[in-house]
Amino acid sequence: MRTLIRIFVFLFLLSSAASATSVVAIRNDDEIVIGADSKTTLTPVSGAGKPESIAKCKIVQTEDLFFASAGSAGIGQAELRGHADPEYNIKDVIAQGLRGNGNIAERVGNLERVLVANLTQIAEKVRQDNAAFFLERFVKNPVHTVIIVGLDDGKLVLMVRTFRLIISPSGSLSFEIGRFTCPGDCRTSFITIFEGQTGAIRNYLQDHALFLYFADPVAAVRDLVELEISKDPSSVGSPVDILRLTKKGAEWVQKKPLCPDIQKTSAPLSAPPS
């Protein structure tokens, strides 16, 4: 029976209105459901002209793990019709950092090292190229947040890692990493995580405190992401992709054609307990 105690994880590291992404994840003993919007905004490289938007699949599989992320910093820079894609190869960088044969904690530890190295480089470049953008997007808000989900020894694991830039008195850059893991840091098995643009979600749950007591996790994830889409369609856009992970494996509940099918893996973390 699902407990009626709902824990909403409002970490400072998850609240960045600058992130044109909305991701919601719900975990209980039976499943993890994660949903994300599809819109990515491309910033004009020259600084002139209007931003342009494209659709992306923001829930990504890497071997037996799945992740979604949000933030103002891409890793590197690419041009698309004269625009810079803020998420250029971020998926590849995260996916590479999570690959390996260790348990989830070990692989996420490696991801932390990979992302810190890359984010430090891009932050330094942005500081030199555009001081105003650096202050608004890199100093005032977390630079990047990643939610990772998977199976570890038969347990459904949800991990959040957020990277906040620290500037020393001498001007050198480093990162403070916010860490949350469930099981471990959660007091109950049921938690709700909000990442990226979450203002409409927070306001709704303040006014509808019992919403998650009775809502099906899939419906709740869908409805909460759609709240952000309705509030600010210029930054957060449909459709909503939803992935469900149980001890038997992962499945798409709904996805756009752009999102690839789930790839089967023989890695031990994805196998149900014997």
Three-state secondary structure readout of 29-79: CCCEEEEECCEEEEEECCCCCCCEEEECCCEEEECCEEEEEEECCCCCCCE
Predicted local confidence at residue 129, as pLDDT: 81
Q: Which residues of 157-186 are buried (b: 16+ CB within 10 A; e: fewer)?
A: bbbbbbbbbeeeeeeebebeebebbbeeeb
CA nearest neighbour of 94 among 74, 111, 118: 111
Q: Hey, what CATH topology would domain 7-261 get?
A: Glutamine Phosphoribosylpyrophosphate, subunit 1, domain 1 (3.60.20)
Question: Between helices 90-98 and 104-129, what is the axis angle to 10°?
Answer: 150
The neighbour count for residue 230, using CB atoms within 10 Å, is: 11
Full pLDDT tens readout for the chain, 274 residues: 344 344 444 332 333 333 578 999 999 999 999 999 998 766 554 455 566 677 888 999 999 999 998 876 553 344 445 544 444 567 788 999 999 889 999 999 999 999 999 888 888 888 888 888 788 888 988 889 999 999 998 999 999 999 999 999 999 999 999 999 999 999 888 999 998 889 999 999 999 989 998 899 999 999 999 999 999 888 889 999 999 999 999 999 999 998 999 998 755 444 433 3
6, burial (CB in 10 Å: exposed 0-12, middle 13-18, buried 19+): buried
Predicted local confidence at residue 51, as pLDDT: 60
Predicted local confidence at residue 72, as pLDDT: 65
| Tokens describing residue 268 | 């031990």
Q: Could you give the CA distance from residue 192 to residue 34 in angstroms, rounded to a whole number?
A: 10
